[in-house]
């Protein structure tokens, strides 16, 4: 096998990155049109849901987890003036309306309850029994309502030939046929909270060299969101804050983003290919954030080959240990529910690459 120089490695990967960016851009444009059409119809049918806007540039509601799996957040409407719940109480209800003898499990990590009274202003529809149980806005109930709206919107918008419901998920998933390949979208109702920072996100825990104090305050000003992705608990999300952090990474002229793009390319082509990868772009982004915190100086991000291999080593450690802390909510392990066999297989491929960085180059 021909020996590759550090420059060859970078050139090879960045050429592939350019092709991928063009493909994904075309797919996102198609997906955007479909999502905008569906959610506009949904917003006409139920005032509690907003249309996802169409954007010619970056769309903050669409997160590409892998080339064939997207996360689409659909903002809800009619909940304003959020405040953290001050009183803890036990919940004994079920989705079916029966009473439990023992209380429901408390939320962990990235999860929390959501009471309608936590908002200073709320539409009366959020108090209705189709989404509310004993004062809680229950994500499973919201998803039941939302799923029916999506099903109806596919028919009303005459998209049955292009969009189909995926029924093997508890969340709301649809498959979209694009000109390039089929893409699976998770459509997630999201309570956007731009006016506050979650108390669960104790970030940064102490004085850090990266990011700067001013940058931290800027990022926190974007708030967070709560996603309906489980039965009783809402999931904390910091997609906007993460995007702001990413957008400002290389203001000093470093190669952090190029390293992330190359890492993602190798992950998709060699280390973790397939339609439903155990490691997504969000995991890789989190690995980069932790590495930036450990190596905050420009001198650590000036030589691509060294910086890239440093990222690969960090990814290998996380995958091998089945442990990757969420960057903002550090008590949460993002790999807690990941398939152990898939992680171990990826760890082996990463180890092979680290022994000889030319092995398996796409």
pLDDT, tens digit (0-9, with 9 covering 90-100), for 36-93:
999 999 999 999 999 999 988 889 999 999 999 999 999 999 999 999 998 889 999 9
| Six-digit token string for 353 | 């690459």
Q: What is the mean pLDDT of residues 281-290?
A: 98
Helix (H, G, I), strand (E, B) or coil at 349: helix
User: Is 133 domain-assigned?
Assistant: no
Q: What is the pLDDT of residue 357?
A: 85
CB 259 within 8 A of CB 304: yes
The residue range of the domain holding 332 is: 249-361
Q: What is the pLDDT of residue 167?
A: 87
pLDDT above 70: percentage of residues in the chain: 97
Within 10 angstroms of residue 237's Cβ, the number of other Cβ atoms is 24
Q: What is the pLDDT of residue 208?
A: 74
What is each CA distance from 185 to 168, 177, 179, 242, in whole angstroms?
Answer: 13, 11, 16, 20
User: Is 34 domain-assigned?
Assistant: no
Q: What is the mean pLDDT of residues 210-236?
A: 95
Phi, psi of 282 (to 5 degrees): -65, -40
User: Is 58 domain-assigned?
Assistant: no
Q: Is it the case that residue 347 has pLDDT exceeding 80?
A: yes
Task: Give per-residue pLDDT as tens, 98-143.
Answer: 999 999 999 999 999 999 999 999 999 999 999 999 999 999 999 9
Q: Tell me: cis bond preceding 83? Omega within 30 of 0 counts.
A: no
The total of structural domains in the chain comes to 1
Task: Give per-residue pLDDT as tens, 286-315.
Answer: 999 999 999 999 999 999 999 999 999 999
Task: Give per-residue pLDDT as tens, 135-193.
Answer: 999 999 999 999 999 999 999 999 999 999 998 778 999 999 999 999 999 999 999 99
User: Is 284 domain-assigned?
Assistant: yes
User: Is 57 domain-assigned?
Assistant: no
Residue 3 pLDDT class (50, 70, 90 cuts): very low
User: Is 52 domain-assigned?
Assistant: no
- Residue 33: name the closest of 72, 77, 68, 69 by CA: 72
CB 160 within 8 A of CB 152: no
Question: For the residues of 192-235, what is the DSSP string, one character each?
Answer: EETT---TT---SSS--SSS-HHHHHHHHTT-EEEE--SSS-EE
Helix orientation angle between 139-156 and 6-45, rounded to the nearest 10 degrees: 90
Q: Is it the case that residue 359 has pLDDT exceeding 70?
A: no
User: Is 200 domain-assigned?
Assistant: no
Q: Which CATH number fits the domain that encloses residue 348?
A: 1.10.1410.40
Helix orientation angle between 281-294 and 256-266, rounded to the nearest 10 degrees: 140
User: Is 290 domain-assigned?
Assistant: yes
């Amino acid at each position: 096998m021909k020996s590759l120089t550090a420059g060859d490695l970078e050139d090879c990967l960045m050429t592939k990155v350019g092709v991928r960016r063009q493909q994904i851009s075309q797919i996102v444009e198609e997906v955007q049109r479909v999502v905008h059409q569906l959610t506009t119809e949904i917003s006409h049918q139920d005032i509690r849901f907003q249309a996802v806007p169409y954007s010619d540039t970056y769309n903050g509601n669409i997160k590409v987890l892998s080339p064939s799996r997207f996360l689409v957040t659909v903002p809800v409407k009619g909940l304003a003036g959020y405040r953290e719940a001050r009183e803890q109480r036990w919940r004994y209800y079920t989705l079916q309306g029966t009473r439990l003898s023992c209380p429901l499990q408390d939320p962990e990590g990235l999860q929390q309850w959501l009471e309608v009274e936590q908002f200073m202003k709320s539409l009366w529809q959020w108090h209705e029994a189709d989404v509310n149980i004993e004062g809680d806005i229950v994500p499973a109930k919201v998803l039941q309502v939302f799923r029916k709206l999506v099903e109806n919107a596919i028919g009303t918008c005459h998209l049955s030939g292009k969009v189909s419901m995926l029924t093997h998920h508890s969340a709301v998933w649809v498959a979209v046929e694009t000109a390039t390949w089929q893409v699976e979208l998770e459509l997630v109702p999201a309570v956007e909270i731009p006016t506050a920072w979650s108390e669960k996100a104790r970030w940064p825990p102490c004085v850090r060299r990266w990011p700067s104090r001013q940058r931290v305050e800027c990022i926190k000003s974007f708030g967070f969101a709560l996603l309906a992705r489980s039965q009783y608990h809402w999931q904390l999300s910091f997609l906007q804050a993460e995007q702001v952090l990413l957008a400002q990474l290389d203001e000093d002229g470093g190669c952090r983003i190029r390293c992330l793009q190359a890492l993602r390319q190798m992950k998709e082509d060699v280390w973790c290919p397939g339609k439903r990868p155990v490691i997504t772009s969000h995991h890789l982004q989190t690995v980069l954030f932790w590495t930036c915190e450990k190596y905050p100086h420009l001198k650590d991000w000036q030589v691509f080959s060294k910086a890239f291999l440093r990222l690969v080593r960090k990814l290998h450690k996380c995958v091998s240990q089945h442990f990757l802390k969420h960057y903002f909510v550090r008590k949460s392990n993002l790999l807690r529910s990941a398939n152990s066999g898939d992680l171990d297989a990826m760890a082996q491929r990463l180890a092979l690459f680290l022994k000889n960085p030319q092995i398996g180059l796409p």
